[in-house]
Structure 1
Amino acid sequence: MTIFSKIIKGDIPSYKIAENDQFYAFLDIFPMMEGHTLIVPKVEVDKFFDVPTEYLNAWLAFAKPIAAAIESVVPCNRVGISVMGLEVPHAHMHLIPINSADDMNFTRAKLKLEPSEFQAIQAKIIAQLPATL
């Protein structure tokens, strides 16, 4: 069982942004930028392109309002998307508020936020989401 499956199951706490029957979105605890959110499928699959085809369109549809919510509360030019999958053997998507391409440079030092900062941005993003995803 991957760390993401443990987060989805509730065995490891997270700053949950949204959830439906297929996906779970939560703040990255090692963020590139404030508001950096991970979206993972509830099915445990290592590689993005091994995820069942029916999930791929649904994944973007689930991510779209989350990206809009992030963009509305985090000062940025746009929300970038990255699928790398090297850190955890469970397919996942990064939604990262960006102002330049360098903001998505995963070799840069990560932000160090306090729990209260995570909770504040979590609340702001959730407040901008539609009632159902």
Structure 2
Amino acid sequence: MSTVFSKIIAGEIPGRFVWADDRAVVFATIAPITDGHMLVVPRDEVDQYTDAPDDLLAHLALLAKTVGRAQQAAFGSPRAAVLVAGFEVEHLHLHVLPAWDESSLRFDNARHDVPGDELDAAAEKVRDALRDAGHGANIPTALGAPTLG
């Protein structure tokens, strides 16, 4: 059965993509804990972190690092945080977000009422920072497109 993330990757459900490669995509969450909160998601439907092959986890971790650096540049945060829970969607994903302190890194701080234009603007800031860091080849040609041009 296809997960909601697989449907986003396939373009059946809209997504705000900031990265795409042959193994993973990165898109904005619709319930950010902080501005610029992104999800690093493998294209393959892996149920949870402990089920993933080591090479895929390594790829996702390096991608999270790249995105985290872009978030720090885009939002001026002292840290980038990575959270792995997986209770919301049964498809492995890493939450990567700009972080200022540990107390704010809780899912109950997620905002569910962020207007779409604010989500778009935050995603575009991450896309710009990724471009500035030399990763333009992995930035989808349009915010809502999971494929490269």
Residue 101 in 1 paired to residue 102 in 2? yes
What TM-score does the superposition give when structure 1 sets the normalisation length? 0.93
User: RMSD across aligned C-alpha pairs, in angstroms?
Assistant: 1.3
2-structure distance, mates of 1:7, 1:77: 30
How many angstroms does 1:112 deviate by? 2.5
Deviations along 1:21-70, one digit per CA (max 9) or x if unpaired, are 00010001011111000011011011111012210111112222211111
1-structure distance, mates of 2:125, 2:87: 29
| Correspondence for 1:132 | 137
Structure 1 stretches of 4+ with a deviation exceeding 6 A read: none
CA contact (8 A) 1:31 1:110 kept: yes
1-structure distance, mates of 2:94, 2:87: 11
Counterpart secondary structure, 1:31: coil
Cα 1:109/1:13, change in 2 over 3 Å: closer
Which consecutive unaligned segments of at least 5 residues does structure 2 have?
139-149
* Matched AA of 2:100: N
Cα 1:65/1:109, change in 2 over 3 Å: closer
2-structure distance, mates of 1:28, 1:86: 14
CA contact (8 A) 1:35 1:97 kept: yes
2-structure distance, mates of 1:19, 1:109: 25
2-structure distance, mates of 1:109, 1:96: 11
- Greater alpha carbon shift after TM alignment, 57-66 vs 26-35: 57-66
* Matched AA of 2:90: P
Which consecutive unaligned segments of at least 5 residues does structure 1 have?
none
CA contact (8 A) 1:45 1:90 kept: yes
Cα 1:112/1:32, change in 2 over 3 Å: same
Structure-to-structure mapping, 1:22-61, within 5 angstroms = 22-61=23-62
* Matched AA of 1:86: F
Q: Percent identity?
A: 32
* Matched AA of 1:6: K
How many angstroms does 1:86 deviate by? 0.7
2-structure distance, mates of 1:21, 1:45: 15
